[in-house]
Amino acid sequence: MNIILTGFMGTGKTAVGRRLAKRLGWRFVDVDALIEAGAKKSVATIFAEHGEGVFRRLERRTILRAIRARHQVIATGGGAFVDAQNRARLRVSGPVICLTARPRTILARVGARLSARPLLRGAVSPLTRVRTLLTQRARAYAQADLTIDTSALSIDEVVERLWSTLSPCLCRGWQYVQDHSKALAHRYGGKYIVVADGRIIASGETQLEAYQNARRRHDLRGKPGAPRLSRQQETGIYYIPLPEEALTAL
């Protein structure tokens, strides 16, 4: 299992990723840094000399290599999760968290290094450009398992929120998903399932729907045979890829 951080530039993916990885005792992987190390050029130089198309191809290859290992916190570039192939691979690898922030906050954080941001460099109005890119990427970012607005949060506060939310995903429920991946893909492909103490108790088209269905069943706990949720249970919500997504992600 890996934990993936995605989201727009300036939202804290690298800083949060390093801190979270240290807390977990896992390896931190920065996809952009891997690309730069392999190409021996900065991302900005790759964009300038070869164009965005070449960069995106390098990004796909790098992500494919990165997800082959486990127990990593992986920070992707801001546009990586927009690509459907990257998205499928990353979602199979582990829970995806999208960090976001208000446009003005983003610009304040990256303003001093605009020249190193290929998609903002040369923009007449960088703020307008940030807003436009956020709008263009909103649909893709919405497919993350969790979104956290970092605008008013410190790095430690973001890590604490991630820790409290992701700790159930680090339990044996994830191992259950891995052990039954093929059968789950055919029955629940494209949906989210709620696993409590090694069994599926609810599912839904979205993470919220799966959670609501689990809570709804929990509210029936007074009826015979109804499943129960308790603080002692190891409970997690997991995305199950479609069979074709699972194949793509290999």
Compute the average pLDDT of residues 166-184.
Answer: 70
Q: Report how far residue 52's alpha carbon sits from residue 180's, in angstroms, rounded to the nearest whole number.
A: 38
Q: Which of 42-46, 134-138, 197-201 has the lowest mean pLDDT?
A: 197-201
What is the edge-to-edge ordering of all strands in the sheet holding 72-75?
Answer: 27-30, 72-75, 3-7, 96-100, 146-149
Rounded mean pLDDT of 71-85? 92
pLDDT in tens, 139-150: 999 989 889 999
- CATH topology for the 3-167 domain: Rossmann fold (3.40.50)
Predicted local distance difference test score (pLDDT) of residue 158: 93
**pLDDT band with cut points at 50, 70 and 90 for residue 169:** low
Kindly list the distances between the CA atom of residue 104 and the CA atoms of 118, 132, 143, 168, in Å, as whole numbers in the listed order: 18, 13, 24, 34
- Mean pLDDT, residues 10-14 taken together: 92
Q: Which residue has the higher pLDDT, 114 or 126?
A: 126
Structure confidence by residue, pLDDT tens digits, 89-107: 898 888 899 999 999 999 8
The sign of the dihedral angle between the CA atoms of 173, 148, 157, 214 is negative
At residue 229, the pLDDT reads 46
Q: Which of 1-10, 54-63, 76-85, 198-207 has the lowest mean pLDDT?
A: 198-207
Could you give the percent of the chain with pLDDT greater than 90? 40
At 206-249, the pLDDT tens digits run 878 888 888 887 665 545 444 444 444 567 777 887 766 644 43
Tell me if the pTM is above 0.75: no
- Pairing assessment for the beta strands 199-204 and 191-196 based on DSSP bridges: antiparallel
Residue spans in the chain of domains classed CATH 3.40.50.300: 3-167
